[in-house]
Amino acid sequence: MRLKLAIQKSGRLHDDSMRLLKECGIDIANGVNKLKAEATNFPIELFFLRDDDIPQYVEDGVADIGFVGENVVYEKAKKVDVAYALGFGKCRLSFAVRKNEEFTGASFLANKKIATSYPVLVQKYLDAHKITAEIHEISGSVEIAPGIGLADVVCDLVSSGSTLFMNGLKESETILESQAVLIKHKNFSVEANAILERLMFRMESVKKAKKNKYVLLNAPNDNIEKIISLLPGMKSPTVLALATPGWSSVHSVIAESDFWEIIEQLKAAGAEGILVIPIEKMIL
Protein backbone atom coordinates (compact mmCIF):
# COMPACT_ATOMS: atom_id res chain seq x y z
CA MET A 1 0.00 0.00 0.00
CA ARG A 2 0.89 3.65 -0.31
CA LEU A 3 0.19 6.29 2.30
CA LYS A 4 -1.82 9.15 0.73
CA LEU A 5 -0.49 12.57 1.72
CA ALA A 6 -2.37 15.79 0.90
CA ILE A 7 -0.26 18.93 0.55
CA GLN A 8 -1.01 22.46 -0.67
CA LYS A 9 -0.97 22.68 -4.46
CA SER A 10 0.48 26.18 -4.51
CA GLY A 11 0.89 28.87 -1.90
CA ARG A 12 2.93 29.49 1.20
CA LEU A 13 3.14 25.88 2.43
CA HIS A 14 3.87 24.17 -0.88
CA ASP A 15 7.62 24.67 -1.19
CA ASP A 16 8.38 23.89 2.45
CA SER A 17 6.24 20.74 2.26
CA MET A 18 8.11 19.52 -0.83
CA ARG A 19 11.47 20.45 0.70
CA LEU A 20 10.73 18.50 3.88
CA LEU A 21 9.94 15.38 1.83
CA LYS A 22 13.15 15.85 -0.09
CA GLU A 23 15.15 16.22 3.13
CA CYS A 24 13.55 12.94 4.23
CA GLY A 25 15.08 11.33 1.14
CA ILE A 26 11.73 11.00 -0.64
CA ASP A 27 11.86 11.60 -4.40
CA ILE A 28 8.64 12.63 -6.13
CA ALA A 29 8.16 11.43 -9.69
CA ASN A 30 5.90 13.73 -11.72
CA GLY A 31 5.42 17.49 -11.59
CA VAL A 32 3.03 19.32 -9.33
CA ASN A 33 0.80 20.41 -12.19
CA LYS A 34 -1.01 17.13 -11.80
CA LEU A 35 -3.47 16.33 -9.07
CA LYS A 36 -1.41 13.36 -7.88
CA ALA A 37 2.23 12.27 -7.79
CA GLU A 38 4.02 9.21 -6.48
CA ALA A 39 7.28 8.87 -4.63
CA THR A 40 9.77 6.65 -6.44
CA ASN A 41 11.56 5.37 -3.34
CA PHE A 42 9.01 5.46 -0.50
CA PRO A 43 5.44 4.08 -0.23
CA ILE A 44 3.73 7.44 -0.40
CA GLU A 45 1.44 9.18 -2.88
CA LEU A 46 0.87 12.94 -2.97
CA PHE A 47 -2.39 14.81 -3.59
CA PHE A 48 -2.07 18.51 -4.41
CA LEU A 49 -5.04 20.44 -3.02
CA ARG A 50 -6.15 23.84 -1.75
CA ASP A 51 -5.17 24.07 1.89
CA ASP A 52 -8.78 24.71 2.98
CA ASP A 53 -9.85 21.33 1.57
CA ILE A 54 -7.13 19.25 3.22
CA PRO A 55 -8.86 18.65 6.61
CA GLN A 56 -12.01 17.38 4.87
CA TYR A 57 -10.06 15.00 2.64
CA VAL A 58 -8.25 13.63 5.68
CA GLU A 59 -11.46 13.30 7.72
CA ASP A 60 -13.04 11.34 4.85
CA GLY A 61 -9.96 9.16 4.47
CA VAL A 62 -9.49 10.15 0.81
CA ALA A 63 -6.06 11.20 2.07
CA ASP A 64 -4.52 9.39 5.06
CA ILE A 65 -2.47 12.37 6.19
CA GLY A 66 -2.07 16.06 5.28
CA PHE A 67 0.31 18.96 5.81
CA VAL A 68 -1.71 22.07 6.70
CA GLY A 69 -1.66 25.15 8.95
CA GLU A 70 -3.10 24.77 12.46
CA ASN A 71 -5.20 27.85 11.70
CA VAL A 72 -7.01 25.88 8.97
CA VAL A 73 -7.23 22.71 11.10
CA TYR A 74 -8.92 24.48 14.02
CA GLU A 75 -11.12 26.71 11.86
CA LYS A 76 -12.47 23.77 9.84
CA ALA A 77 -12.85 21.69 13.02
CA LYS A 78 -12.91 18.38 11.13
CA LYS A 79 -12.49 15.02 12.86
CA VAL A 80 -8.74 14.54 12.35
CA ASP A 81 -5.79 14.04 14.69
CA VAL A 82 -2.86 16.46 14.82
CA ALA A 83 0.12 14.11 14.86
CA TYR A 84 3.26 16.19 14.36
CA ALA A 85 4.40 19.83 14.28
CA LEU A 86 6.30 20.47 11.06
CA GLY A 87 8.10 23.65 12.13
CA PHE A 88 7.35 25.80 9.07
CA GLY A 89 4.49 28.13 8.04
CA LYS A 90 4.66 29.92 11.36
CA CYS A 91 2.21 32.80 11.86
CA ARG A 92 -0.38 34.00 14.34
CA LEU A 93 -4.06 34.81 14.14
CA SER A 94 -4.52 38.23 15.70
CA PHE A 95 -7.02 41.00 16.14
CA ALA A 96 -5.90 44.35 14.75
CA VAL A 97 -7.36 47.81 15.23
CA ARG A 98 -6.81 51.18 13.55
CA LYS A 99 -3.44 52.54 14.63
CA ASN A 100 -4.91 55.55 16.46
CA GLU A 101 -7.21 53.34 18.55
CA GLU A 102 -6.50 51.76 21.92
CA PHE A 103 -7.34 48.06 22.21
CA THR A 104 -8.35 47.74 25.84
CA GLY A 105 -8.78 43.97 25.94
CA ALA A 106 -11.58 41.63 24.84
CA SER A 107 -14.29 44.08 25.98
CA PHE A 108 -13.13 46.48 23.24
CA LEU A 109 -14.77 44.11 20.74
CA ALA A 110 -18.27 44.38 22.22
CA ASN A 111 -20.77 45.32 19.50
CA LYS A 112 -17.99 45.96 16.98
CA LYS A 113 -17.92 44.73 13.39
CA ILE A 114 -15.07 42.23 12.94
CA ALA A 115 -13.84 41.26 9.47
CA THR A 116 -12.15 37.86 9.27
CA SER A 117 -11.61 34.68 7.26
CA TYR A 118 -11.72 32.77 10.57
CA PRO A 119 -15.32 33.15 11.84
CA VAL A 120 -15.24 29.94 13.88
CA LEU A 121 -12.09 30.84 15.82
CA VAL A 122 -13.24 34.44 16.34
CA GLN A 123 -16.64 33.28 17.60
CA LYS A 124 -14.93 30.89 20.02
CA TYR A 125 -12.85 33.76 21.40
CA LEU A 126 -15.93 35.96 21.76
CA ASP A 127 -17.86 33.19 23.51
CA ALA A 128 -14.97 32.51 25.89
CA HIS A 129 -15.01 36.20 26.85
CA LYS A 130 -18.84 36.40 26.87
CA ILE A 131 -18.83 39.16 24.27
CA THR A 132 -21.30 39.83 21.48
CA ALA A 133 -19.98 41.26 18.24
CA GLU A 134 -20.82 41.12 14.55
CA ILE A 135 -18.57 38.90 12.43
CA HIS A 136 -18.17 39.63 8.71
CA GLU A 137 -16.64 36.66 6.96
CA ILE A 138 -14.48 37.64 4.00
CA SER A 139 -12.17 35.33 2.15
CA GLY A 140 -9.29 37.63 1.22
CA SER A 141 -7.76 41.09 1.78
CA VAL A 142 -9.26 41.31 5.25
CA GLU A 143 -6.87 44.13 6.09
CA ILE A 144 -8.65 46.64 3.85
CA ALA A 145 -12.02 46.24 5.64
CA PRO A 146 -11.58 49.07 8.18
CA GLY A 147 -10.37 51.46 5.44
CA ILE A 148 -13.51 50.95 3.34
CA GLY A 149 -15.82 51.11 6.34
CA LEU A 150 -16.79 47.44 6.29
CA ALA A 151 -15.49 46.72 9.79
CA ASP A 152 -14.00 48.30 12.91
CA VAL A 153 -11.63 45.47 13.69
CA VAL A 154 -9.98 42.67 11.71
CA CYS A 155 -8.81 39.24 12.80
CA ASP A 156 -6.24 37.90 10.36
CA LEU A 157 -3.00 35.95 10.01
CA VAL A 158 0.14 37.95 10.70
CA SER A 159 3.76 37.06 10.20
CA SER A 160 5.98 40.14 9.72
CA GLY A 161 3.17 42.59 10.48
CA SER A 162 3.87 44.68 7.38
CA THR A 163 0.44 44.07 5.79
CA LEU A 164 -1.29 45.49 8.86
CA PHE A 165 1.17 48.37 9.06
CA MET A 166 0.66 49.34 5.40
CA ASN A 167 -3.07 49.43 5.98
CA GLY A 168 -2.88 51.70 9.02
CA LEU A 169 -3.67 48.90 11.47
CA LYS A 170 -1.90 47.58 14.54
CA GLU A 171 -1.83 44.07 15.94
CA SER A 172 -3.64 43.99 19.28
CA GLU A 173 -4.27 40.49 20.54
CA THR A 174 -3.18 37.05 19.32
CA ILE A 175 -5.80 34.32 19.54
CA LEU A 176 -3.80 31.49 17.94
CA GLU A 177 -0.11 30.76 17.35
CA SER A 178 0.05 28.59 14.26
CA GLN A 179 2.45 26.46 12.23
CA ALA A 180 2.07 23.73 9.65
CA VAL A 181 1.21 20.37 11.19
CA LEU A 182 0.78 16.79 10.04
CA ILE A 183 -2.84 15.74 10.45
CA LYS A 184 -4.01 12.15 10.20
CA HIS A 185 -7.20 10.25 9.55
CA LYS A 186 -8.88 8.90 12.71
CA ASN A 187 -8.72 5.24 11.68
CA PHE A 188 -5.39 3.94 10.56
CA SER A 189 -4.51 0.39 9.50
CA VAL A 190 -1.45 -1.23 11.07
CA GLU A 191 0.23 -1.08 7.67
CA ALA A 192 -0.51 2.62 7.15
CA ASN A 193 0.69 3.36 10.65
CA ALA A 194 3.99 1.61 10.00
CA ILE A 195 4.61 3.87 6.97
CA LEU A 196 3.66 6.95 8.98
CA GLU A 197 6.08 5.92 11.74
CA ARG A 198 8.87 5.64 9.16
CA LEU A 199 8.02 9.08 7.75
CA MET A 200 7.88 10.69 11.19
CA PHE A 201 11.17 9.09 12.19
CA ARG A 202 12.80 10.72 9.16
CA MET A 203 11.15 14.09 9.82
CA GLU A 204 12.35 14.00 13.42
CA SER A 205 15.94 13.26 12.28
CA VAL A 206 15.82 16.23 9.91
CA LYS A 207 14.37 18.48 12.63
CA LYS A 208 16.97 17.44 15.23
CA ALA A 209 19.80 17.92 12.73
CA LYS A 210 18.64 21.51 12.06
CA LYS A 211 18.69 22.25 15.78
CA ASN A 212 22.26 21.03 16.26
CA LYS A 213 25.74 21.74 14.95
CA TYR A 214 28.82 19.58 14.74
CA VAL A 215 31.82 21.26 16.37
CA LEU A 216 35.53 20.45 16.00
CA LEU A 217 38.16 22.30 17.97
CA ASN A 218 41.74 22.10 19.17
CA ALA A 219 42.32 22.15 22.92
CA PRO A 220 45.39 22.25 25.14
CA ASN A 221 45.47 18.99 27.15
CA ASP A 222 45.76 20.98 30.39
CA ASN A 223 42.25 22.34 29.87
CA ILE A 224 40.68 19.29 28.30
CA GLU A 225 38.54 18.36 31.32
CA LYS A 226 37.05 21.84 31.45
CA ILE A 227 36.37 21.86 27.69
CA ILE A 228 34.76 18.42 27.75
CA SER A 229 32.47 19.53 30.55
CA LEU A 230 31.15 22.28 28.26
CA LEU A 231 30.38 19.81 25.46
CA PRO A 232 27.67 17.26 26.09
CA GLY A 233 27.94 15.49 22.70
CA MET A 234 25.57 12.69 21.74
CA LYS A 235 27.13 10.35 24.29
CA SER A 236 30.37 12.13 25.14
CA PRO A 237 32.78 14.12 22.98
CA THR A 238 35.41 12.40 20.84
CA VAL A 239 38.98 13.32 21.85
CA LEU A 240 41.89 12.59 19.48
CA ALA A 241 45.56 13.43 19.98
CA LEU A 242 46.98 16.10 17.66
CA ALA A 243 50.43 15.71 16.09
CA THR A 244 51.52 18.71 18.19
CA PRO A 245 52.35 17.42 21.69
CA GLY A 246 50.11 18.64 24.50
CA TRP A 247 47.11 19.29 22.21
CA SER A 248 43.99 17.35 21.30
CA SER A 249 41.22 17.62 18.77
CA VAL A 250 37.73 17.51 20.31
CA HIS A 251 34.57 16.70 18.29
CA SER A 252 31.03 17.13 19.57
CA VAL A 253 27.44 18.15 18.84
CA ILE A 254 25.94 21.30 20.34
CA ALA A 255 22.42 22.70 20.28
CA GLU A 256 21.79 25.78 18.13
CA SER A 257 19.99 27.40 21.08
CA ASP A 258 23.05 27.57 23.38
CA PHE A 259 25.51 27.76 20.52
CA TRP A 260 27.10 31.21 21.05
CA GLU A 261 27.23 30.89 24.79
CA ILE A 262 29.10 27.59 24.58
CA ILE A 263 31.49 28.90 21.92
CA GLU A 264 32.37 31.86 24.16
CA GLN A 265 33.03 29.55 27.09
CA LEU A 266 35.13 27.24 24.91
CA LYS A 267 37.28 30.15 23.77
CA ALA A 268 37.69 31.32 27.33
CA ALA A 269 38.83 27.78 28.25
CA GLY A 270 41.59 27.93 25.61
CA ALA A 271 39.92 26.20 22.64
CA GLU A 272 41.34 27.19 19.24
CA GLY A 273 40.58 26.56 15.59
CA ILE A 274 36.90 26.00 16.24
CA LEU A 275 35.03 24.63 13.20
CA VAL A 276 31.23 24.50 13.13
CA ILE A 277 29.56 22.22 10.60
CA PRO A 278 25.84 21.82 9.81
CA ILE A 279 24.41 18.34 10.34
CA GLU A 280 22.25 16.82 7.62
CA LYS A 281 20.52 14.02 9.57
CA MET A 282 20.70 13.06 13.21
CA ILE A 283 19.68 9.59 14.32
CA LEU A 284 19.83 8.94 18.04
Residues near Zn ion (CB under 5 A): 51-52
Residue 159 partner contact from Zn ion, ligand PRT, none using kind-dependent CB cut-offs of 5 to 8 Å = ligand PRT
Spell out the SS3 assignment of 134-185: EEEECCCCHHHCCCCCCCCEEEEEECCCHHHHHCCEEEEEEEEEECEEEEEC
Whether 65 and 196 have beta carbons less than 8 Å apart is answered as yes
- Could you tell me whether strands 153-158 and 113-116 are parallel, antiparallel, or unpaired per DSSP bridges? parallel
H-helix or E-strand spanning residue 66: strand 65-69
**Closest distance of CB 91 from Zn ion, Å:** 13
**Closest distance of CB 73 from ligand PRT, Å:** 9
**160 contributes a contact to ligand PRT by CB under 6 A:** yes
**33 contributes a contact to ligand PRT by CB under 6 A:** no
Residue 145 partner contact from ligand PRT, Zn ion, none using kind-dependent CB cut-offs of 5 to 8 Å = none
Q: How far is CA 91 from the centre of its chain?
A: 9
**23 contributes a contact to ligand PRT by CB under 6 A:** no
**8 contributes a contact to ligand PRT by CB under 6 A:** yes
Residue 161 partner contact from ligand PRT, Zn ion, none using kind-dependent CB cut-offs of 5 to 8 Å = ligand PRT
**161 contributes a contact to ligand PRT by CB under 6 A:** yes
Long-range CB pairs of 262-267, under 8 A, 24+ apart, other chains included: 262/230, 262/231, 265/230, 266/217, 266/227, 266/230, 266/231
Residue whose beta carbon is closest to ligand PRT = 69
**92 contributes a contact to ligand PRT by CB under 6 A:** no
Instruction: Give exposure, 179-199, as e/b (b: 16+ Cβ within 10 Å).
Output: ebbbbbbeebeeebeebbeeb
Whether 136 and 150 have beta carbons less than 8 Å apart is answered as yes
**46 contributes a contact to ligand PRT by CB under 6 A:** no
Compute the distance between CA of residue 274 and CA of residue 265 in angstroms, rounded to an integer: 12
Residue 54 partner contact from ligand PRT, Zn ion, none using kind-dependent CB cut-offs of 5 to 8 Å = none
Q: Which stretch binds ligand PRT (CB under 6 A): 119-127, 154-162, 192-200, 268-276?
A: 154-162
Residue from 16, 38, 52, 173 in contact with ligand PRT (CB under 6 A): 52
Residues contributing to the site for ligand PRT (CB under 6 A): 8, 11-13, 50-52, 69, 71-72, 89, 91, 156-163, 178
